[in-house]
Homo-oligomer: A and B are copies of this chain.
Amino acid sequence: MTAPRLDRGDYGLLLLGLLGEREMYGYEVVSELRARSTAVIDLPEGTVYPALRRLERDGLVRARWVDVEGAPRRRYYALTTAGERALTEGRESWHRFTRAADQVLGG
């Protein structure tokens, strides 16, 4: 019964977009996404952490542990060169797609 939602894709590109600005850790990514999109994009942690792992597995991001005083340690993620390239390409194909979709949906 649920209506079809075009916004259910591979969210990896959004994570690349955030990490393209600065190094971030997983939990920060979750709250940044929510803040920046005024809660429109509200990915649960169970979605974000596996997604970051996939990006790492595919060589698009690099991770490092950082100890923090008086808090659990954080796993910071940063783009690799391949990640930056993927972000650029992904952004372009995303814009191509939105233009095409608006052509179909009526912009």
Cα–Cα distance between A33 and B40 once the two chains are bound (Å): 27
Interface of A is mostly: helix
* CB neighbours of A94 from chain B (8 A): 5-7, 101, 105
A residues whose Cβ falls under 8 Å from a Cβ of B: 1-18, 20, 33, 36-38, 40-41, 54-55, 58-60, 86, 89-91, 93-94, 96-101, 103-106
Least CB distance from A48 to B in Å reads 13
A–B complex contacts, Cβ < 8 Å, 8 sampled: A5-B10, A7-B94, A13-B105, A37-B100, A37-B101, A37-B103, A41-B100, A94-B105
Partner pick for A4 among B4, B7, B18, B86, CB 8 A cutoff: B86
> Is there contact, CB below 8 Å, between A14 and B106?
no
Chain B residues positioned under 8 Å from A6 (CB to CB): 9-11, 13-14, 90, 94, 97
